[in-house]
Amino acid sequence: MAVELAWFVATVTLTFLGLMAITFSIGRVIPIDPVLAVVGDRATAAVYEAARVEMGLDRPVLVQFGSYVVDVLHGDFGKSVSTGKLVSDDLIRYFPATLEMATLGIFIGVILGVPLGVAAAARQGSFIDQIIRVVGLLGYSIPAFWMGLVGLAFFYAKLRLVGGPGRLDIFFDGLVPPVTGLMLIDSLLAGKVDVFRNAISHLVLPASILGFFSLAYISRMTRSFMLDQLGQEFVTTARVKGVPEWQVIWRHAFYPIRVPLITVIGLSYAGLLEGSVMIETVFSWPGIGNYLTAGLFNADMNAVLGATLVIGAVFIIINKLSDVLYRILDPRAR
């Protein structure tokens, strides 16, 4: 166990160092001058050079990378040009909004996607199978921004069933003190039921759109896994013995696919956390995707690299959690 723990820590450390090396290299390769983003394009040569020295860009690249690693390990991502605040403070403020929306989205994707995938495999070639496959194809094909705009036009502007852009109506903004950063939890902790209802009304549409995209991927992979298991000999044996069909499907065929399904769900969840840029832009959602987009438009490299590093760290953590769940669910992995 000590050796496995040491190997786990080593792999996480090396992966994170590789991620920092990639983000550092991207910051030096892309054609954006971080000094100009700070001093402006009308600054004199003396001001430009002084800012360049203050930012440490006059030092050798390896020395810059070493300082970057030390700063990141201390939670220092620099100062954001866009907001004028520390990037670490901005990430703490913006990331919970993305986490809340992506978590509800993956919940919708799993609750609907897994049963749909199982149903499609159990009735392969039937009308139900064709419908579910078409739904999955739509999830792969429809652009996220188009679906967001149509959803706002129909469910918000026309039917008034959901809240509009933003996380809350202006009237409720600032009524709940931030504790976890998750509006649903913070509003319940503060006893503000009206704020909770308003937050739900704003969250349900973007989260449902994200859930639809994850549903398409999860249902397709579940169907593929189930078709492979339903063709195995032990499933045929169970049917010959007269085992009820629902037990054949859920207890015999579904049980072995839990382990690969964990990877699918984990990657889908991580994809929602980093791939919600379009949805957050359309819905004016104050999340890390919107923060990253604003940083790119304003040449705010500290914000861009900090957000990219956090997203990469989320991928690493989710992958490692998947490995842990492998060992819990599959005795062979232990």
Q: What is the pLDDT of residues 37-72, one digit of tens each?
A: 677 777 788 887 888 887 777 788 888 888 888 888
Kindly state the helix (H) or strand (E) to which residue 117 belongs, with its residue range.
helix 87-122
What is the spatial distance between Cα 230 and Cα 255, in angstroms, rounded to a whole number? 11
Query: Which pLDDT belongs to residue 205?
Result: 93
**Does 18 have pLDDT greater than 90?**
no
56: tokens are: 């440490």
- Residue 79: phi and psi, rounded to 5, are -110, 140
Closest to 304 measured CA to CA, from 274, 272, 267? 274
Binned at pLDDT 50, 70 and 90, residue 100 comes out as very high
**Does 4 have pLDDT greater than 90?**
no
In the chain, pLDDT over 70 holds for what percent of residues? 97
Convert the pLDDT of each residue in 291-311 to its tens digit. 888 887 877 788 888 888 888
pTM, to two decimals: 0.84
Binned at pLDDT 50, 70 and 90, residue 103 comes out as very high
What is the spatial distance between Cα 277 and Cα 290, in angstroms, rounded to a whole number? 6
292: tokens are: 């990253």
Arithmetic mean of pLDDT, 16-44: 77
Sign (positive or negative) of CA dihedral 67, 70, 71, 72: positive
**Does 333 have pLDDT greater than 70?**
no
Q: Is 79 left (phi over 0), alpha (psi -120 to 50) or beta?
A: beta
Convert the pLDDT of each residue in 184-213 to its tens digit. 999 999 889 999 999 999 999 999 999 999
Map residue 86 onto helix, strand or coil: strand
Query: Which pLDDT belongs to residue 275?
Result: 65
Convert the pLDDT of each residue in 238-252 to its tens digit. 888 888 888 888 888
3: tokens are: 């050796």
**Does 125 have pLDDT greater than 90?**
no
Q: CB of 270 within 8 A of CB of 318?
A: yes
Q: Which domains does the chain have, with CATH numbers?
A: 2-73 (no CATH), 93-161+203-329 (1.10.3720.10)
**What are the b/e assignments for 147-165, b being 16+ CB within 10 Å?**
bbeebbeebbeeeeebbee
Arithmetic mean of pLDDT, 167-189: 88
CA-based max dimension of the chain:
86
Q: CB of 188 within 8 A of CB of 198?
A: no
